[in-house]
Chains A and B, each alone.
Chain A
Amino acid sequence: MSIGDLEHDANDVVFEQTEEKKDSKLEQDEKKTEFVRELFFLIILGAASIALLIPSIQMWMNKPNANAPGMFPTIVTVGMLLCDGIALVQLLGKKTAEGSDMDEIGWEKLKFIIGTEVPFTVFVMMAATLLYVASLKIIGFYIATFIYLTFAIVFLYKGDRSKIVQALLVAAGMDLVVYIVIDLIFQIHMP
């Protein structure tokens, strides 16, 4: 084994250790903000359940019989609301027993919470995926896929320039495979 290989292996170990530290930090952040994130999410789900329950009841009231089209959606949305309510009570009970550490939520804290909920990598990839899907009809599947894959791979490698060629090749290869398998063999024409 050459000195270069040894250096390469050592760099890999350092890289893995650094990443492990970052991951454990994310896990710590998740635990710190768990109560507030959970609370907000359950409130949003509860509000959505109420928003779906009201038209369901209205639909049931229009035809109040055993075969009413609004009956089942009403039962289901009541079930959603009940489950959400129980989960909320369980969360609040758990927090009361442990004591609250998120009494004051300032702008900095809010940014930290949002950052833990949707880390930067996920946020960018989510936005990129939404843009990719939205652009399918405008610029076409193959161009959109090529741009999306190239960007996503380079971004996930933290902008490593040495990966650009690899990303371009993967993107072109994927376009080719989809064209041959989906377009030519299965006769499904992508947008």
Chain B
Amino acid sequence: MSTIIETFTSGLLVFSRPELLLYILGGLLFGMYAGAMPGISATMAISLIVSLSYNWPIYSALAVALGCYVGAVYGGSRSAILLNVPGTPAAIATAFDGYPLAKQGKAAKALGITAIQSVIGGIIGSIFLLVAAPLITRFALMFASRDYFLLALMGIMLLVSMSGGSFTKGMFSGFLGMFIGVIGMDSSTATQRFTFDNIYLMNGISSVAIIIGIFGLSESLVQMRDFRKVTVRKQDLSRVIPSFHDAFGYLRVTIESSLIGVFVGALPGTGGNIAALISYDRAKKSTKNPAVPFGEGAIEGLVASESSNNAAVGGAIIPMLTLGIPGDSATALLLACMTAHGVVTGPTLINSQDGIFGIIVMLVLLANIFLLPVSLTGIKIFSKIVEVPKQILLPLIIVLATVGSFAAKKNIMDVYFMTGFGVFGYFLSIHKFKTGPLVLGMILSQLLELNLRRSLVGAFGSVWTLLGQMVSSPISAILTLVVVLVMLGQFGILKKLKSVIRKS
């Protein structure tokens, strides 16, 4: 309890620097409009913000990045409702009922409800971040190096398995990401690895450049394969503020979905998209007699999706801060931002003298509170922005990707790498190789390698001793079991085992 009070008290320091509130507002506005644009994901929006704020003071950079994160997750719902094109993956479930509502001429009502529900979900997520993070930190201090290795591996495998498609292709992407992460000078032995004596490569390839290439350029190229499919529809946006019943009449679904959002978001490798889909499914099963069937404009569906994906923001930040393991690719970027500013995340962060942990928690809470007025503004203007044809939008995204990759370190090599990985990402995407695991693998590469090497040194170089430790320690055994189960589940071995047991 004392840790929670200390965290909250240190968070109040934000109010001694009023300019941070402006940075949050700026980030929210940018994130909301960027997230609302089809083709610009929350990850892409944050990557642009992180690259632009690279040289800013730490708190300003964090305020604008966290505001952008919260804004982008909400913003994704706008194009999902108006165009049936989710601005971010987290808004996929929002489109199920949001778009039918828009077709019925209730776009304004749907947009108003998503705004209120996102705020409620976001605040619940922030409160959990404040309460649960110190507890998880205490638990995380019991983790050994091998547990971090297993946890990071589990994160990549969960992302691969939950993002659908071929598991082997997803794991290939994850391994490829890990390989990209090892390029550069080895931090332990100063050995150059795959640098070809190039000075630029000695520091490794910029993760921001790769992420922008993979999410911005390659996605734009993929969309050019069939960019004429999207049609622009005009909507009646005369009434925006929802009624009291629309805002608070579905409190059971709101709270249930927010809790699902927090817990799913806190699992490494998951995120708002998975949380929203699980919550939508849960709401569909638990709502006996909806006024309108699910999939045809059910308010409960909209409520479940939006409260869940914004609650997942607070959840996803928990493992990033307490374990140093990002919950999804967007928090992976936030982690990159913090690392670039010299902040070491993990169990020790909560006790750091400068109170940065409490400030981050407060920034997330404030971003969610500020989201209410921000989200109810600009709906009419926004409807004009999403009407920008893809023939114009896609080249603009490519130019923005170029600007973003250069701005991070003011190095033209980053632009070249962004382009190279963008083109490579295009081929990976059309061959159904998930790019999310590649990014997560790259970001977690250092953590994986460092902890594997530490564990092996601790086991006197013996793989068998390490495997023994993985089975004998309770935490390691549970993590090993999860990793093995995910793997067995993906190859259908679990199903075969079940059928054999049933037959016998």
Contacts and interface: CB of A to CB of B under 8 A. Distances in A.
- A and B pair up: yes
Interface of A: 16, 19-20, 22-23, 26, 37-38, 41, 45, 52, 55, 59, 63, 65-67, 69-73, 75-77, 79-80, 83-84, 86-87, 90, 117, 119, 121-122, 125-126, 129-130, 132-133, 136-137, 141, 145, 148-149, 152-153, 156-157, 163, 166-167, 170, 174, 178, 182, 186, 188-191
B225 A122 contact: yes
Chain B interface mostly: helix
Contact of B461 (A41, A65, A73, A136): A65
Nearest to A145: B399
B270 to A, nearest CB: 21
Interface of B: 52, 166, 168-169, 171-172, 175-176, 178-179, 182, 186, 188-189, 191, 193-194, 217, 221, 224-229, 231, 390-392, 394-396, 398-399, 402-403, 406-407, 410, 412, 415-416, 419, 422-423, 426-427, 430-431, 448-449, 452-453, 456-457, 459-461
B395 A148 contact: yes
A38 B179 CA distance: 22
A67 B224 contact: no
23 contacts: A19-B228, A26-B226, A66-B460, A67-B188, A72-B182, A72-B452, A76-B175, A79-B172, A83-B172, A90-B168, A117-B427, A119-B225, A122-B225, A122-B426, A129-B419, A129-B422, A133-B419, A136-B415, A137-B412, A149-B396, A152-B395, A153-B391, A156-B224
Contact of A156 (B166, B395, B406, B407): B395
Contacts of A136: 402, 412, 415
Nearest to A117: B430
Nearest to A156: B391
Contact of B224 (A45, A86, A117, A121): A121
Contacts of A79: 171-172, 175, 178
Contact of A72 (B52, B412, B448): B448
Contacts of A129: 217, 398, 419, 422-423
Contacts of A186: 52, 407
Given A72-B178, A157-B391, 16 more contacts: A66-B457, A69-B186, A72-B448, A73-B182, A77-B179, A79-B172, A80-B179, A122-B221, A125-B224, A137-B412, A156-B391, A163-B391, A182-B52, A186-B52, A189-B410, A190-B406
Nearest to B172: A83
Contacts of A153: 391-392, 395
Give the interface centre of B228, B399, B403 by most chain A CB atoms within 10 Å: B399
Given A80-B175, A90-B168, A178-B403, A170 B396 contact: yes
Give the interface centre of B182, B231, B410 by most chain A CB atoms within 10 Å: B182
A80 B174 CA distance: 9
Contacts of A166: 392
The 5 closest A-B pairs by CB, nearest first: A152-B395, A66-B461, A156-B391, A83-B172, A66-B456
B402 A76 contact: no
A73 B227 CA distance: 39
A49 B410 CA distance: 32
B412 to A, nearest CB: 6
Contacts of A84: 168, 172
Give the interface centre of B176, B194, B410 by most chain A CB atoms within 10 Å: B176
Nearest to B228: A19
B193 A73 contact: yes
A110 to B, nearest CB: 17
A67 B460 CA distance: 10
Contacts of A148: 395, 399
B156 to A, nearest CB: 11
B428 to A, nearest CB: 9
Contact of B176 (A80, A87, A121, A126): A80
Contacts of B427: 41, 117
Contacts of A190: 403, 406
Contacts of A125: 221, 224, 395
Nearest to B418: A133
B466 to A, nearest CB: 9
B478 to A, nearest CB: 23
Contacts of B227: 156
B44 to A, nearest CB: 16
Nearest to A18: B228
Contacts of A132: 398, 402
Given A37-B431, A55-B194, A76-B179, A174 B396 contact: yes
Given A23-B229, A65-B461, A72-B452, A87 B172 contact: yes
A38 B227 CA distance: 23
Give the interface centre of A37, A59, A73 by most chain B CB atoms within 10 Å: A73
Give the interface centre of A26, A137, A174 by most chain B CB atoms within 10 Å: A174
B171 A73 contact: no
A72 B449 contact: yes
